[in-house]
Amino acid sequence: MRKIKYRDKAKMRQRMRITAFLLTVIFSILIIRLSYIMIVKRADYAGRAEEQWTSEVKIDAKRGRILDRYGNELAVSANVYRIDLDLNSVREYLKRPLKSISRQELDHMKNVGIPVPTGDDGLKNDDIVPVIAKALDMDVSKIKADLEKKLPSGADAGSVTVVRKIEKDVADKAKELNINGVLVSPDTKRYYPNNNFLAHALGSTDSDGKGLTGLELQYNSYLSGIPGMKIAELDKNNRDLPYTNSQYTSPINGKDVNLTIDENIQNFAENIAKQCYTDNKAKAVSILVMDPKTGEVLAMVNKPDFDSNNPYNGAEKFNGANTSDKLQKMWRNRLVNDTFEPGSIFKVITSISGLENNVVNKDTQFVDNGSISVGGITVKDAEQENVHQNLLQIIQNSSNVGFVKLGQMIGKEKLCESIDKFGFGKVSGIDLPGEASGIAKPVDKVSSADLATISFGQTNTVNSVQYMAAFNAIANGGTLIQPHIMKEVTHDDENNVNIVDETFKPKTSIVASKEKTAELRTYLEGVVTGGSGTGTFIEGYHIGGKTGTAQKPSESGGYGEGKYISSFVGMAPANDPKVTVMITVDEPSNGAYYAAQVAVPYVKPLFTEIFNYLNSKFFDDNKEKINKDVVIPEVRNMEVANAKKMLKDSGLDCKVDGGGEKIVNMTPYPGSAVKEGSQITLYTSSDGTYNNNVVIPDVRGYSKEDATDLLKSIGIVPIFDGNGAVSAQDIAQGEVVSKGTTVKLTLSSYYKD
């Protein structure tokens, strides 16, 4: 009888459940792993795969130029060369057996030092490494590392850049090797034709040609262009697939950035700043020249500076914890990146606030006893005063006491409102990187002592460009204009037609009235004709300005002993300014520190250069000229020919009325101030009546000798009181008097801010 085997169905079901569970777990793990690979690691693996089956070579675009306002090149990309290795081609070159190489190529290989392969073995990397290294004058280990470069996946790389920005002679040596895969192609190198010229504004580029500082960084997206690309598909042996076409995208060259800078005015400012820096043994000197009607920067200089062609050289002269700190200090554009307490130049802003709020006028009197105590502090003048002064005089004399009282008359709410309106405590918006906003104390934090110090230029801080934007608003009649250094971005199309891509459109706002700003400009002219800015006076030109000598705060609190920033801000001509100037001297150490001593003497030659340039034949547009005033000389009783010559020598034209031999009368009278080139009418008729009438000229700002010569030449007798330059005259300009009249002239010497 057959034995019956019974199956334990319960155990079978249990085994099946376990098996199903295990299979489920396994498939779940596989699904999770596959999902991880396909979703999470997709980009990574796709990138690795692409690395293995493609060869990619980047082709850089030519960087755009930086030009001044007239198209003069300030930064260009010079034509140089680069060496890249197409490693796939190099490998194929090395694998070739002896029988596949022509006799001519074998002779060439011997001449350049490449070993000849033996049999079918071909060559190795080490056979060509020293040859390439010698041609490029590079280290053997660097060339060896490039030839053996691997991808992140561990596969052999398809290409590598060996060296860039090499000169033609080195590139020719690489070409002469005639090694397949050693690619010599055009490259560009950033070059600054004038070296240190405009260095802080232009900035520099890094080794890859990208903007590092200054305008190179600010407008990098325009200048850099769009790189091209060559992409080829490879087989499993890293060889180009014969049935595929390489993808080639041509680079798009960068656009040109045209600046508001005038190369000639920049050159004047560079030379003056260098002289001022040397003479004063200063820590630094900065000069800013602007067009107040447009907000355009015409010149921007900082000394010491650096050579943009070698931006890493010279940093050792600067203090810093390490090389990076020193470089940052050397590259800092002090006019934009640094702030300081402005000192007395801020009195311009306090003055316009007082005028706009109608708390002061030309007749307002200020009693100055030399010092004033307020809020627990005592404010003193540079020189003790005990006089009544009007608004013009407290500006001319830079009276701290007078401005403390003016600040109290305005009140902190109104003064802080003016400070905010004129753009302090926030960036000006100049198109340069790293602008500092400065500090404007909020009104609810301003104590009575703060109100006093803010009124004459302490407590709050400003940067130079920010201050000049506010000063320009005084010059242009009350409009705050965003300062800028870029004029437009352009490029040449395929037909070499210049296309304007973008024009800078500055933001503007009305911050003061034309009437009040015009009134203030007359007071600022008084600083130059009879105040601390007399050293800036240039005969025939109307310059308005203000000096400032500010103590520098100490890191430990209070103010540093003997450390000052001395400044001068000016505009010309004062009645309708076309140019504004700011010069700051940081920590002069040659014995003097008042702005009248260390800053003002350098403004006069700068203005002189600018006036001569703007009035030269270079300009056809008369609106850009700054016309000079000429005092009409005495030519009555002269023969006609001699009278004509004298007027011509003075820059004046004339017409003769009558047929006589001598001049018997003229209009306007001698002593009148007219614009250069004006026409004077001379009368010679026999029935003409000769008279002794002359007009008193304005001789404020003249030296004693020059005033004497001018007045005596028209028959006026001067008498003097004091020493220095003429600061006041007892007969007003334009008054008609007779020859022989005596005029009393007051002389003053100013050595304070």
Mind spelling out the 3-state secondary structure of 369-412? CCEEEECCEEEECCCCCCEEECHHHHHHCCCHHHHHHHHHHHCH
At 73, list the tokens: 């090149």
Mean pLDDT, rounded, for 130-144: 92
Alpha-carbon span 624 to 638, nearest angstrom = 36
Inform me whether the pLDDT recorded for 648 exceeds 50.
yes
Top mean pLDDT of 80-94, 118-132, 492-506, 555-569 is at 492-506
Q: Coil, strand, or helix at residue 294?
A: coil
Tally of CB atoms within 10 A around 715: 18
Q: Is residue 247 part of a domain?
A: yes
For residues 549 and 681, membership in a common domain is answered with no
- The pLDDT score that the predictor gives to residue 299 is 98
**Angstrom distance (rounded) from CA 168 to CA 79:** 9
Q: What's the domain count of the chain?
A: 4
Label residues 383-400 b or e (16+ Cβ within 10 Å = b): eebeeebbbbbbbbbbbb
Average the pLDDT over 184-200 and give the result: 89
Domain that residue 329 falls in: 263-624
Residue 243 confidence class, pLDDT cut points 50, 70, 90: very low
- Integer Cα distance of 592 and 610 in angstroms: 27
DSSP conformation letters of 638-666: SBHHHHHHHHHHTT-EEEEESS-SB--EE
Q: What percent of the chain has pLDDT over 70?
A: 91
Range in 378-382, 497-501, 603-607 the model is least confident about: 378-382
Q: Is residue 256 over pLDDT 70?
A: yes
CATH number reported for the structural domain that contains residue 685 in this entry = 3.30.10.20
Residue 479 has pLDDT above 90, yes or no: yes
Q: Which CATH number covers residue 202?
A: 3.90.1310.10
| Residue after which a domain boundary falls, among 624, 649, 667 | 624
Which of 468-472, 547-551, 615-619, 713-717 is predicted most confidently? 468-472
1 lies in a domain? Answer: no
Residue 46 lies in a domain: no
Same domain, 269 and 219: no
Q: Answer yes or no: are the C-beta atoms of 570 and 544 closer than 8 Å.
A: yes
Looking up residue 270, the CATH number of its domain turns out to be 3.40.710.10
For 657, counting Cβ atoms within 10 Å of its Cβ (0-12 exposed, 13-18 middle, 19+ buried), the class is middle
Each residue's pLDDT tens digit, 277-317:
999 999 999 999 999 999 999 999 999 999 999 999 988 88
d(CA 77, CA 187): 9
349: Cα separation from own chain's centroid = 24
Say if residue 481 is in the same domain as residue 523. Answer: yes
User: Is the residue at 51 inside a domain?
Assistant: no
pLDDT in tens, 383-433: 766 688 999 999 999 999 999 999 999 999 999 999 999 999 999 999 999
48 part of a folded domain:
no
| Non-local CB neighbours of 530 within 8 Å, separated by 6+ positions | 396, 700, 701, 725, 726, 727, 728, 748
620 and 652 in a single domain? The answer is no
State the pTM of this model. 0.82
Domain match, 284 and 333 both: yes
On whether the CB atoms of residues 278 and 87 are closer than 8 A, the answer is no
CA-closest candidate to residue 440, choices 423, 456, 428, 452: 423
Are 680 and 615 members of one domain? no
CA 539, CA 544: separation in Å to the nearest integer? 13
- In this structure, what token pair is assigned to residue 718? 């001067």
Give yes or no: residues 723 and 598 share one domain: no
- 637/715 same-domain check: yes
What does R_g of the chain's alpha carbons equal in angstroms? 38
Q: How far apart are CA 435 and CA 356, in angstroms?
A: 29
What residues have CB less than 8 Å from 183, skipping those under 6 apart? 57, 83, 84, 85, 86
Query: 621 or 695: which carries more pLDDT confidence?
Result: 695
Residue that is last in its domain, among 259, 291, 308: 259
* Domain end among 205, 228, 259: 259
Residue 4 resides in a domain:
no
Higher-pLDDT residue of 316 and 273 is 273
Residues 50-82 pLDDT 10s: 555 555 566 677 889 999 999 999 999 888 888
Contact (CB, 8 A) for 441 and 430? no
On whether both 314 and 373 belong to a single domain, the answer is yes
**Token representation of residue 654:** 């004339």
pLDDT confidence bin for 360, thresholds 50/70/90: very high
Angle at 469 between CA 464 and CA 471, to 5 degrees: 90
Amino acid (one-letter) located at 308: S
8 A C-beta contact, residue 545 and residue 596: no
Helix axes 400-410, 448-455, angle to 10 degrees: 120
146 and 192 both lie in a single domain: yes
The answer to whether position 448 is within a domain reads yes
pLDDT of residue 92: 85
- For residues 166 and 297, membership in a common domain is answered with no
Q: In the structure, what pLDDT confidence band is assigned to residue 189 with cuts at 50, 70 and 90?
A: confident
Give yes or no for a contact between 374 and 387, defined as CB atoms under 8 angstroms apart: no
- 304 with 159, same domain: the answer is no
Q: Give a yes or no: residue 49 inside a domain.
A: no
